């Protein structure tokens, strides 16, 4: 078992750190709001630290799941950042969805300090984190990935190295691009069913068993029809992720017309006051137009 630090105890990080502790790892946690770290220690045991640097001291692996590029830079390279507490040969595993640009920036900074960085964004939502069945897409050096993979396996159903530094983040962009189109398509299908006088649940019971089936359909159609969106992956975070996708597409020359359109639909949801609603709230946007 390894000595691990976990930075960031949000809806994803809190249960992920719990799985590490349950698997027998020695876990020290850090969270910007100390009360969340205190609650985690009360529930799971382990230890808490007041800074990322303190949490990282002596750790073989430092996992992070924070908010955005700036948050990640802060927990890595600020005066009290984890990089200043990590030992030579330690591995920093970043589960945050950020730009490939900041990933490569921190990969190089870590390399100079003798620290390996694996970008390892996650998919599967809060339920996937709580049940330990996340999908993890990774980039970075093979040796660093091989060292960290056993720890990541305790909260994943699949964990794969896609390529060099940044490849994990680029793969997560593919994931979010695909989800955006799927959720909009599902929303339009349910909206059409309602307008046509059909029972949405009966419709999904049939079409989910054919080529139209998806994770989004199986896991979200009932809450969508029930007008329940106070759960899951927030629209604000999805817009952050899609912004990264669109910026990267501009840099690479990729064409993402559907993604750009759905991003604007999520902007409409934010205007409805739904920034913290689940991404399936695209359906609520269509209902609001009635």
What is the DSSP code string of 270-282? Answer: HHTT-TTSBGGGH
pLDDT band at 290 (very low <50, low <70, confident <90, very high): confident
pLDDT tens per residue, range 157-200: 999 999 999 999 999 999 999 999 999 999 999 999 999 999 99
Token pair for residue 14?
């809190």
Catalytic (active-site) positions: 172
d(CA 215, CA 183): 10
> How many other C-beta atoms lie within 10 A of the C-beta of residue 134?
26
Identify the burial level of 282 via C-beta atoms within 10 angstroms of its C-beta, where 0-12 means exposed, 13-18 middle and 19 or more buried. Answer: buried
% of the chain beyond a pLDDT of 90: 98
Show the beta-strand stretches assigned E in the chain: 3-7, 26-30, 47-48, 61-64, 91-94, 116-119, 122-123, 134-139, 156-163
Pairing, β 122-123 against β 91-94: unpaired
Average pLDDT rounded to a whole number, residues 52-67: 98
CB distance 46 to 26 below 8 Å: yes
Structural domains in the chain?
3-164 (3.40.50.720), 171-288 (1.10.1040.10)
Please tell me whether residue 27 adopts helix, strand or coil conformation. strand
Average pLDDT rounded to a whole number, residues 252-258: 98
Q: Which of 74-78, 162-166, 231-235, 244-248 has the lowest mean pLDDT?
A: 231-235
């Amino acid at each position: 078992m390894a000595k691990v630090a976990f930075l960031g105890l949000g809806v994803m990080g809190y249960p992920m750190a719990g799985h590490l502790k349950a698997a027998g790892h020695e876990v020290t946690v850090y969270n910007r709001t100390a009360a969340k770290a205190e609650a985690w220690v009360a529930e799971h045991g382990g230890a808490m630290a007041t800074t990322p640097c303190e949490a990282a001291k002596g750790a073989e692996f430092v996992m992070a799941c924070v908010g955005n590029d700036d948050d990640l830079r802060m927990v890595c390279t600020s005066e009290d950042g984890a990089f200043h507490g990590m030992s030579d040969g330690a591995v920093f595993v970043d589960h945050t969805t950020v730009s490939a640009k900041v990933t490569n920036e921190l990969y190089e900074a870590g390399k100079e300090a003798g620290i390996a960085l694996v970008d390892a964004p996650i998919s599967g939502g809060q339920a996937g984190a709580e049940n330990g069945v996340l999908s993890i897409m990774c980039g970075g050096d093979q040796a660093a990935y091989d060292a960290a993979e056993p720890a990541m396996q305790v909260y994943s159903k699949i964990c794969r190295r896609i390529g060099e530094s940044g490849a994990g983040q680029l793969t997560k962009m593919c994931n979010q691009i695909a989800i955006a189109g799927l959720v909009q398509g599902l929303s339009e299908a349910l909206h059409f069913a309602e307008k046509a006088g059909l029972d949405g649940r009966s419709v999904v019971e049939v079409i989910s068993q054919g080529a139209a089936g998806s994770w989004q359909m199986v896991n979200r159609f009932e809450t969508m029809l029930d007008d329940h969106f106070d759960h899951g992956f927030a629209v604000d975070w999805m817009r952050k992720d899609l912004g990264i996708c669109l910026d990267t597409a501009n840099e690479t020359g990729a064409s993402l017309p559907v993604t750009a359109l759905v991003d604007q639909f999520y902007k409409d949801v934010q205007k409805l006051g739904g920034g913290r609603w689940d991404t399936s709230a695209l359906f609520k946007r269509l209902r609001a137009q009635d």
